[in-house]
Amino acid sequence: MHEIQKISESEMEVMQVIWGYGQSLTSAEILQALNKKKSWKPTTVLTFLARLAEKGIITSTKKGKVNQYIPLISENEYKQFETYSFLNTVHKGSVKSFITALYEGDGITKDEIEELKKWFSQKAGE
């Protein structure tokens, strides 16, 4: 697998549509899905699709007169990339520092702490 590149918030909105669809789709289908939330211009969507292709996040294939867009990485792969990038950049790779920041900033509830304890216990037992 090639190195993943960071994508912008708008590119992420486009990718959410592509990942959510579960198969290849056209720019018109992407535009239609995006326009359910806010008004997007076709040229804007095409620009983001071109950028995502340049970054190696998606590819396109010609089917008849239209391009079909297909993700080259999964949503989970991108989430892992972003998580490790953030962890390394902001917390110098320390998971403890990250969790401490969440806890001390009231960004984590007692229920979530209990959920994490159970999850860590299960993982430790594997």
Distance CA 16, CA 85 (A): 19
Distance CA 4, CA 77 (A): 9
Q: What is the pLDDT of residue 2?
A: 62
Residue 34 confidence (pLDDT) above 70: yes
Distance CA 50, CA 36 (A): 22
| Reported confidence tier of residue 9, pLDDT bands at 50, 70, 90 | very high
> Could you give the 3-state DSSP secondary structure of residue 123?
helix
| Reported confidence tier of residue 104, pLDDT bands at 50, 70, 90 | confident
52-64 pLDDT, tens per residue?
A: 999 999 999 998 8
Residue 1 confidence (pLDDT) above 80: no
Distance CA 91, CA 84 (A): 10
Distance CA 42, CA 39 (A): 10
